[in-house]
Amino acid sequence: MKIIVCIKQVPGTNEVKTDPVTNTIIRENIPAILNPFDAYAIEEAVRIKERRGAFIYGISMGIPAAREVLREALALGIDKGILMTDRKFAGADTLATAYTLSKGIERIGDFDLIICGRQATDGDTAQVGPSLARTLNITCATDISRIIEIKNKEMHCLKITDDGYEEILVKLPALITVVKEINMPRLPSIKGMKLARRAEIDIVRFDDIKADENRTGLKGSPTRVRKVFVPVHQVETSMIEGTLEEKAQKLSELLLSMGMEVK
């Protein structure tokens, strides 16, 4: 079975603080990491490989340093790492990203399954998966929480929805996005890292794929970030003071005065 996992390198923290004086973000040396959702995708692919055999490609579109997350993926058990990196890919929104990845995947050839993490923690859009599926014109199933069975031409899965779950049958080849409920990702082992450190990562540049330069990178992005700002909140905050006891008393009175209905 041929599986492709989409991988992204993202900034390491969600706790970016803002400088109250300059109103800009305080960014420290935050090391880049593997997008946490992608860890679940990699783990699921490796489990399939352990269960029934598979060849797993990891593909990532990013800056040269992103090869580190491909290396981590190799240590976790994927078989080949591919990094798509080129100035012409930079500045891509989800549409351009999906297009570029689709070209990289075309280059790989036939496949049975593409697994993506549901979203990336820097953008949180959850759009690349479905957009990529559409660009490749294959089946798309999002928010998969369990792969029940893989048959020859189809896959039996559980999908998480707003109302609960859906049991679905997905026609292969397909792209699925997975949620955290699906598994517990492993950490790389020393053995895995030894292999990964010696493995070669395929570098794919713009010229290596037969792409339309009007569809990659900034040029290929219909959406533009026009402005980035620190939100200003205009709320009068009343701080409740006193000993712990007094604070609890005051708040309790406040809540009850707001008309709590006793149950």
Which of 52/233 has CB closer to another protein?
A: 233
Residue 228 sits in the site that holds another protein (CB under 8 A): yes
Residue 68 CA to its chain's centroid (Å): 16
1, 2, 79, 165: residue in contact with another protein (rule CB under 8 A): 165
Residue 50 sits in the site that holds another protein (CB under 8 A): no
Residue 153 sits in the site that holds another protein (CB under 8 A): no
Letter for the amino acid at 207? Answer: D
Residue 106 sits in the site that holds another protein (CB under 8 A): no
Residue 15 sits in the site that holds another protein (CB under 8 A): yes
Residue 152 sits in the site that holds another protein (CB under 8 A): no
User: Which pairing describes strands 154-161 and 17-18: parallel, antiparallel, or unpaired?
Assistant: unpaired
**Structure tokens, 125:** 């859009």
User: Which pairing describes strands 55-61 and 32-34: parallel, antiparallel, or unpaired?
Assistant: unpaired
Residue 151 sits in the site that holds another protein (CB under 8 A): no
82, 98, 103, 207: residue in contact with another protein (rule CB under 8 A): 98
At its nearest, how many Å lie between another protein and the CB of residue 54? Answer: 19
Is residue 96 left, alpha or beta, with left meaning phi > 0 and alpha meaning psi from -120 to 50? alpha
Residue 14 sits in the site that holds another protein (CB under 8 A): yes
Rounded Cα–Cα distance for residues 42 and 40 (Å):
5
